[in-house]
Structure 1
Amino acid sequence: MKTKRHMAVNIQGLLNAYKGKKIDVMTDDDGNFVSDQKARIHLHNLQIQGHKYMPCAKCEGFDPFEHGCPGHVIEE
Protein backbone atom coordinates (compact mmCIF):
# COMPACT_ATOMS: atom_id res chain seq x y z
CA MET A 1 0.00 0.00 0.00
CA LYS A 2 1.24 3.50 -0.83
CA THR A 3 0.53 6.51 1.36
CA LYS A 4 1.46 10.13 0.96
CA ARG A 5 3.17 11.56 4.04
CA HIS A 6 3.68 15.25 4.72
CA MET A 7 6.78 15.99 6.77
CA ALA A 8 6.64 19.57 8.02
CA VAL A 9 5.84 21.52 11.14
CA ASN A 10 3.92 24.77 11.44
CA ILE A 11 6.38 27.12 13.16
CA GLN A 12 3.78 29.12 15.09
CA GLY A 13 2.05 25.90 16.10
CA LEU A 14 5.34 24.56 17.46
CA LEU A 15 5.94 27.75 19.44
CA ASN A 16 2.39 27.62 20.81
CA ALA A 17 2.78 23.97 21.82
CA TYR A 18 6.03 24.73 23.65
CA LYS A 19 4.88 27.92 25.36
CA GLY A 20 6.30 27.72 28.86
CA LYS A 21 8.21 24.52 28.00
CA LYS A 22 11.69 23.90 26.66
CA ILE A 23 11.94 23.08 22.97
CA ASP A 24 13.98 19.89 23.11
CA VAL A 25 13.15 18.26 19.78
CA MET A 26 15.33 20.17 17.30
CA THR A 27 18.73 19.05 16.06
CA ASP A 28 21.55 20.71 14.15
CA ASP A 29 22.99 19.45 10.85
CA ASP A 30 25.13 16.93 12.73
CA GLY A 31 22.16 15.44 14.57
CA ASN A 32 22.98 17.02 17.93
CA PHE A 33 20.08 18.42 19.94
CA VAL A 34 20.17 22.21 20.22
CA SER A 35 19.33 24.24 23.30
CA ASP A 36 15.91 25.79 23.78
CA GLN A 37 17.44 29.23 23.24
CA LYS A 38 19.08 28.27 19.93
CA ALA A 39 15.88 26.59 18.75
CA ARG A 40 13.81 29.68 19.52
CA ILE A 41 16.33 31.99 17.80
CA HIS A 42 16.28 29.77 14.71
CA LEU A 43 12.46 29.69 14.63
CA HIS A 44 12.30 33.47 15.13
CA ASN A 45 14.74 34.02 12.26
CA LEU A 46 12.65 31.80 9.99
CA GLN A 47 9.52 33.76 10.89
CA ILE A 48 11.29 37.06 10.16
CA GLN A 49 11.99 35.69 6.66
CA GLY A 50 8.27 34.95 6.25
CA HIS A 51 8.46 31.19 6.75
CA LYS A 52 5.32 29.51 8.08
CA TYR A 53 6.61 25.92 7.84
CA MET A 54 9.81 24.08 8.64
CA PRO A 55 10.72 20.66 7.19
CA CYS A 56 10.99 17.68 9.55
CA ALA A 57 13.51 16.02 7.21
CA LYS A 58 15.17 16.69 3.87
CA CYS A 59 12.32 17.51 1.54
CA GLU A 60 12.48 18.07 -2.19
CA GLY A 61 10.06 20.77 -3.28
CA PHE A 62 9.51 22.16 0.22
CA ASP A 63 7.63 25.48 0.34
CA PRO A 64 8.28 27.24 3.67
CA PHE A 65 5.86 30.07 2.89
CA GLU A 66 2.48 28.59 1.93
CA HIS A 67 2.24 24.81 1.55
CA GLY A 68 5.13 23.19 3.43
CA CYS A 69 5.93 19.64 2.35
CA PRO A 70 4.39 18.54 -0.97
CA GLY A 71 4.06 15.01 0.38
CA HIS A 72 6.10 11.90 -0.26
CA VAL A 73 4.79 8.51 -1.32
CA ILE A 74 5.84 5.80 1.14
CA GLU A 75 5.40 2.06 0.66
CA GLU A 76 3.73 0.44 3.66
Structure 2
Amino acid sequence: MAANQRTIRTDYRQYCSHAGDEVRIETEFATPAEFLPETPPRIVHRSCSHYCVCNLHDKAACSFAVTLPQVILLPAQFV
Protein backbone atom coordinates (compact mmCIF):
# COMPACT_ATOMS: atom_id res chain seq x y z
CA MET A 1 0.00 0.00 0.00
CA ALA A 2 1.16 3.47 -0.76
CA ALA A 3 1.22 6.22 1.81
CA ASN A 4 -1.99 8.23 2.14
CA GLN A 5 -4.05 5.80 0.10
CA ARG A 6 -7.74 6.55 0.56
CA THR A 7 -10.64 4.16 0.21
CA ILE A 8 -14.39 4.76 0.37
CA ARG A 9 -16.64 2.17 1.98
CA THR A 10 -20.44 2.12 2.08
CA ASP A 11 -21.44 1.60 5.71
CA TYR A 12 -25.19 1.21 5.30
CA ARG A 13 -28.22 2.22 3.25
CA GLN A 14 -31.42 3.76 4.52
CA TYR A 15 -34.41 5.71 3.27
CA CYS A 16 -34.08 9.48 3.67
CA SER A 17 -37.35 11.40 3.79
CA HIS A 18 -35.56 14.68 3.08
CA ALA A 19 -33.97 13.41 -0.16
CA GLY A 20 -36.99 11.21 -0.94
CA ASP A 21 -34.83 8.24 -1.89
CA GLU A 22 -32.60 5.53 -0.48
CA VAL A 23 -29.19 6.95 0.43
CA ARG A 24 -25.79 5.41 1.14
CA ILE A 25 -23.76 6.51 4.14
CA GLU A 26 -20.15 6.40 2.98
CA THR A 27 -16.94 6.57 5.02
CA GLU A 28 -13.59 7.60 3.56
CA PHE A 29 -10.54 6.00 5.18
CA ALA A 30 -6.85 6.94 4.93
CA THR A 31 -4.64 3.89 5.25
CA PRO A 32 -1.25 4.22 6.95
CA ALA A 33 2.07 3.84 5.17
CA GLU A 34 3.76 0.43 5.00
CA PHE A 35 6.33 1.37 7.62
CA LEU A 36 3.52 1.86 10.19
CA PRO A 37 1.79 -1.55 10.07
CA GLU A 38 0.23 -1.32 13.56
CA THR A 39 -1.52 1.97 12.87
CA PRO A 40 -5.24 1.53 12.12
CA PRO A 41 -6.84 3.34 9.18
CA ARG A 42 -8.11 6.83 9.99
CA ILE A 43 -11.60 8.07 9.18
CA VAL A 44 -11.27 11.15 6.98
CA HIS A 45 -14.98 11.94 6.74
CA ARG A 46 -18.46 10.46 6.47
CA SER A 47 -21.00 11.65 3.96
CA CYS A 48 -24.32 10.82 2.37
CA SER A 49 -24.63 9.84 -1.29
CA HIS A 50 -27.37 12.50 -1.77
CA TYR A 51 -25.72 15.39 0.07
CA CYS A 52 -26.10 17.62 -3.01
CA VAL A 53 -29.89 17.34 -2.79
CA CYS A 54 -29.87 18.34 0.89
CA ASN A 55 -27.53 21.26 0.28
CA LEU A 56 -29.88 22.73 -2.34
CA HIS A 57 -32.51 23.27 0.37
CA ASP A 58 -32.38 26.22 2.75
CA LYS A 59 -31.42 24.04 5.69
CA ALA A 60 -29.39 20.84 5.85
CA ALA A 61 -31.33 17.91 7.25
CA CYS A 62 -28.70 15.67 8.79
CA SER A 63 -25.15 15.49 10.05
CA PHE A 64 -24.00 13.65 6.92
CA ALA A 65 -24.48 16.74 4.73
CA VAL A 66 -20.96 17.81 3.84
CA THR A 67 -21.48 21.51 4.62
CA LEU A 68 -22.45 20.98 8.27
CA PRO A 69 -19.60 21.39 10.76
CA GLN A 70 -18.66 18.30 12.70
CA VAL A 71 -19.80 18.37 16.32
CA ILE A 72 -17.25 16.87 18.67
CA LEU A 73 -18.63 15.87 22.04
CA LEU A 74 -16.04 16.03 24.79
CA PRO A 75 -16.25 14.17 28.09
CA ALA A 76 -17.30 16.29 31.07
CA GLN A 77 -13.73 16.43 32.42
CA PHE A 78 -12.58 18.45 29.39
CA VAL A 79 -15.42 20.99 29.41
With structure 2 as the length reference, what TM-score do the two structures score? Answer: 0.24
Q: Which has the higher strand share?
A: 2
Q: Which has the higher contact order (CA 8 A, sep 6+)?
A: 1
Higher Rg = 2
Q: Which has the higher helix share?
A: 1
